[in-house]
Chains A and B, each alone.
Chain A
Amino acid sequence: MLDSIDERFDAELIERAQAGDLTAFGELVRRHQRAAIRVAAVALGSSTGADDVAQEAFMKAHAALHRFNEGSPFEPWLFRIVTNTARNRMRLLGRQRALAVRSGNLGAIGAPMADEIVAGRADSQDLIKAINRLRPADRLILMYRWYEELSETEIADALGCRRGTVKSRLSRAMTRLRVELGADS
């Protein structure tokens, strides 16, 4: 069941792309590339190569479009391909995990006071370091839930797990993150 206008537009683009319309697929790429690159970075544990992984994932998604379930949201399906691709890449490269944090740009959550922004930057660095020490699956579920704001069903689709296990997985990931944050302090 597609709830949003965005999802219905995706469905139209997918239908056109399945019929061979490359322009429609290009529009899908344009709409989801930012999210795909971010998922790739979190799955890789590094922003380096995240765009390459996302590009490869879009190629695979195009090759598999005929198997896409009509009526399902596009992003969870795409995210699974992205994370599978990232996992393959990590196996090949044995890459170390080191998430980098852009300087500044913490103002996305309301309008904190100036001193909070400074504190927020340091806090964000610590938080990213703590998140970075988590397993990829934990990092991904935290991002899917709190950043991408996916539903439980969508998270289950993106992770390839049972919907009934999403809550417990998220809870465990939060617990492990709190432990990591405690270790930092």
Chain B
Amino acid sequence: MISLEERIAAAFDDLDVPETDLVDAVLSELGSPAARPTGERTRRLLLAAAAAVVVVASVLAVAPAREAVARWFGIGATRVEVVPTAPTTDVTSRDVSDMLQGDIVVVDVNPIPELGPPSSVIEDDGRRHYTWVATDDQPPIGNTGLGVVLSVRSIDGEVDLKQPSVDVGAEIGSINVDEVLVAGLWIDGTHEFLAAGSSSPVLAEKVLIWVVEGVQYRLETNLDLAEALAVAEMVHGGTELLPSG
């Protein structure tokens, strides 16, 4: 009697995969002038990405999602309940439009076609928060109904990622994005996140933080690291993110 595990092994052994010999092709490419350093390739990608920033202006025009997106969203020193579907009389909540007021310097990011337009775009305390509702591919963060929250801010000597207070048992790992990523951190486990300039920590579970050329990105999802990296790659218009070994 063959076990299921053995059948699985046999099935994978039975896959029809190409038997291409890659050695010559790889060495040829590495030895050719076309094999540019990764940093140069990435720089060109970023330049292309920068050109696309102008498209982001249209993102702000996107109305908040009609879905019932209710989440306790900690921003700066204020804990805000975001309910884009309708104004609420809850004293702890504010309408999104309120948060768009004020003279705030924020950072644009590329549109992410794979995720579609964000469900809401919120600005507060120098940060811009893009949210997407949960889908089959983007499982919800806790009971928030949101699948992806991307927070972007321009940093000025103070980086949020140095400040999280992490529970025992949480995993902390570093990531690299070729030569472009200055610093990166992956936290998988309950932790209190204290944003720079804030005195009120927020609870989070899975967070990927990285810094590129003076801009800090914080991605909160319920995804694996590999999947979170894939989303982060989209932010940079396809720039490859590599595990750090």
Contacts and interface: CB of A to CB of B under 8 A. Distances in A.
Contacts of A22: 27, 30-31
A145 to B, nearest CB: 8
Nearest to A121: B14
B11 interface: yes
Interface stretch (B15-23, B79-87, B118-126): B15-23
B75 to A, nearest CB: 28
A91 B35 CA distance: 24
A47 B245 CA distance: 26
A58 B8 CA distance: 27
B31 A84 contact: no
B114 interface: yes
B225 to A, nearest CB: 4
A160 B15 contact: no
Interface stretch (B93-101, B195-203, B210-218, B235-243): B235-243
A128 B15 contact: yes
Contact of B245 (A54, A67, A105, A177): A67
A38 B16 contact: no
A59 B29 contact: yes
A47 B17 contact: yes
Contact of B8 (A25, A102, A112, A127): A127
A124 B224 contact: no
A84 B224 contact: no
A69 interface: yes
Interface size class, chain B: 35 or more
Contacts of A142: 8, 12
Central interface residue in B2, B8, B14, B30, by most chain A CB within 10 Å: B14
Given A59-B26, A63-B178, A67-B242, A102 B224 contact: no
Contacts of A63: 37-38, 178
Contacts of B25: 55
Interface string A17-53: 0000010011001100110111001100001001100
Nearest to A104: B14
B226 interface: yes
Contacts of B233: 84, 88
A178 interface: yes
Contact of A37 (B2, B17, B35, B224): B17
B171 interface: yes
A26 B22 CA distance: 9
Given A41-B17, A84-B241, A160-B243, A33 B27 contact: no
Contacts of B114: 91
B149 interface: no
A64 interface: yes
B189 to A, nearest CB: 8
Interface of B: 2, 4-23, 25-27, 29-31, 35, 37-38, 114, 171, 176, 178, 188, 224-227, 229-230, 233-234, 238, 240-245
